[in-house]
Amino acid sequence: MIRLATPADYPAALRVIADAFSVQATAPTVHTLVADSPHGHLLVAEQDGRIVGTAACVGFGRTGWIGGVAVAEDARGQGLGRRLTEAALDALGPRETVLLLASEAGRPIYERLGFVAEQHYRKFWTPDVVLPRVADIRPLTPAHREAVRALDARVTGEDRTLAIDAALAGGVATLDLAAVALRPPWPALPILARDPAAGAVLLGAVIGPNVRVSVPEANEAAVAALQVHGATEGEPVLRMRRGPAVEWRPQELWGVFSLFFG
């Protein structure tokens, strides 16, 4: 049975996600953020009273994302991943374009559902010891909200107000707001930058140890900066879409909010 998750389901659902993707996942996560939002859903697959699968979706106006599609090891091989993906698409409702980030294992499922590949996001881990560089930056305040929303819309081509509101507190920016680093309530380092120099300065100022930072492969400046900081690279993920291409600027995305919706 595939159904909407309740808050009581969150721990078991996050364990399935953690096991499937070999990550730590405890609330709050991006999955619980969208589950608690009027614009998103977290779905679970229940079998014999046990949660064995998850999928999530979130709408950003004309666009939508699906992610967190995970199946417990002993429930694989039954087509549950595809059924969860289809349920997430149904829950998302009509959107001009639906996007996702796929592993190589998941790619064939999404291709059969009409998704096409765009480009890879390269995934890095910062080293155990990394020293931030001194730079002129300032904390973000509620007064900066609209400027940050405008920058995010420029970079992503979407209205991700949900993400901005979840991560504004504790964020920082260059003095001219050319680059912004947000602070979601889980380990991530989302950075938006209008130009490579501002992105490099802000990345150097906020980088810390053992943080996953994922950037589009088109952002060669971000890749080079992460390598200078000693970050090691893992398996990439593939951005895929169903529907017309979104007008976004991958070269200005210096760190994703999550591997759910970029």
Same domain, 143 and 59: no
> Within 13 A of 22's CA, how many CA atoms are on the CB side?
4
pLDDT in tens, 112-134: 999 999 999 999 999 999 888 88
Same domain, 91 and 24: yes
User: For 218, which DSSP code?
Assistant: T
Per-residue model confidence (pLDDT) at position 131: 81
Evaluate whether residue 110 is within a structural domain: no
Per-residue model confidence (pLDDT) at position 13: 97
Evaluate whether residue 114 is within a structural domain: no
* pLDDT beyond 90 at 143: yes
Q: What is the CATH number of the domain that holds 24?
A: 3.40.630.30
User: For 47, which DSSP code?
Assistant: E
**Pairing mode, if any, of strands 212-216 and 191-193?**
unpaired
Evaluate whether residue 106 is within a structural domain: no
Per-residue model confidence (pLDDT) at position 187: 83
Same domain, 150 and 43: no
| Overall size of the chain counted in residues | 262
Give the range of the structural domain holding residue 153, as residue numbers without chain letter: 124-236+245-255
pLDDT in tens, 202-213: 999 999 999 899
Q: What is the CATH number of the domain that holds 214?
A: 3.40.630.90
Same domain, 90 and 175: no
Evaluate whether residue 130 is within a structural domain: yes
Task: Please state, in angstroms and rounded to a whole number, the distance separating the CA atoms of residues 28 and 247.
Answer: 30
Evaluate whether residue 132 is within a structural domain: yes
Evaluate whether residue 69 is within a structural domain: yes
Chain centroid offset of residue 188 CA? 9
pLDDT in tens, 159-202: 999 999 999 999 999 999 999 999 999 888 999 999 999 999 99
Q: How many domains, the chain?
A: 2
Per-residue model confidence (pLDDT) at position 25: 85
Same domain, 35 and 73: yes
**Average pLDDT, stretch 21-27?**
85
Per the listing, tokens 């390269």 go with: 122
Same domain, 153 and 200: yes
Same domain, 15 and 88: yes
Task: Please state, in angstroms and rounded to a whole number, the distance separating the CA atoms of residues 96 and 177.
Answer: 31
Same domain, 249 and 204: yes
* pLDDT beyond 90 at 22: no
> Within 13 A of 178's CA, how many CA atoms are on the CB side?
13
Cross-strand partners of 76: none
Same domain, 157 and 204: yes
Same domain, 251 and 167: yes
Per-residue model confidence (pLDDT) at position 23: 83
Task: Please state, in angstroms and rounded to a whole number, the distance separating the CA atoms of residues 117 and 112.
Answer: 12
**In this structure, are residues 171 and 183 in contact, taking their beta carbons and an 8 Å threshold?**
yes
**In this structure, are residues 209 and 130 in contact, taking their beta carbons and an 8 Å threshold?**
yes
Same domain, 226 and 170: yes
Evaluate whether residue 261 is within a structural domain: no
Count of CB atoms situated within 10 Å of the CB of 90: 12
Per-residue model confidence (pLDDT) at position 105: 85
Query: Which residues lie below 8 Å from residue 77, measured CB to CB, with a gap of 6+?
Result: none
* pLDDT beyond 90 at 95: yes
What is the identity of the amino acid at 20? Answer: A
